[in-house]
């Protein structure tokens, strides 16, 4: 099994065009490289669509690809694939982050250590959805 890593942040990369239920793991290294290629093509298509909308005389936000093109401009190294790397899943060590915050459950201050890919998800004890599921 292989995964795509964002080398700038150390997080796993999920293709923007891939359904969420498929996850971020690939059976082969070639499939993961194809995922990087699909990501590059997705962002190129979004930027081209917005440029065409502007060329037609409309504001850029009239394009249905506006948000994706904005993401491509905010994270150019991900959009062009230079910050993406294929790694064997067995070799990937998820960076851990220790945070202190107020528990949404009872209001106490707690310190938790979670993986960087789990921040803001239902696995994060500092996230309200952790206690509502």
Question: Could you report the per-residue pLDDT of 6-43, keeping only the tens digit for each?
Answer: 998 888 998 998 888 888 899 999 999 999 999 999 99
pLDDT band of 126, cuts 50, 70, 90 = confident
DSSP string, 78-96: HHTTTTEEEEETTT--PPE
Q: pLDDT per residue over 40-98, tens digit each?
A: 999 999 999 999 999 999 999 999 999 999 999 998 999 998 999 999 989 988 889 89
**Considering the entire predicted model, what is its pTM?**
0.78
56 Cβ partners below 8 Å, 6+ apart? Answer: none
120 Rama sector, left if φ>0, alpha if ψ -120 to 50, beta otherwise: left
Q: How far apart are CA 74 and CA 18, in angstroms?
A: 20
Instruction: Please give the Cα distance from 33 to 97 (Å, whole number).
Output: 28
């Amino acid at each position: 099994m292989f995964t795509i890593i964002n080398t700038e942040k150390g997080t796993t990369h999920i293709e923007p065009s891939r359904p969420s239920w498929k996850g971020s793991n690939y059976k082969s290294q070639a499939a993961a490289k194809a995922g990087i290629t699909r990501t590059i093509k997705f962002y190129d298509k979004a930027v081209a669509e917005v440029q065409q909308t502007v060329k037609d005389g409309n504001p850029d936000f009239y394009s249905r690809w506006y948000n994706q093109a904005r993401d491509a401009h905010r994270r150019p190294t991900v959009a062009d694939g230079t910050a993406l790397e294929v790694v064997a899943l067995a070799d990937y060590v998820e960076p851990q982050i220790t945070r202190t915050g107020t528990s949404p459950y009872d209001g106490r201050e707690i310190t938790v250590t979670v993986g960087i890919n789990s921040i803001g998800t239902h696995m994060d004890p500092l996230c309200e959805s952790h206690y509502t599921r």
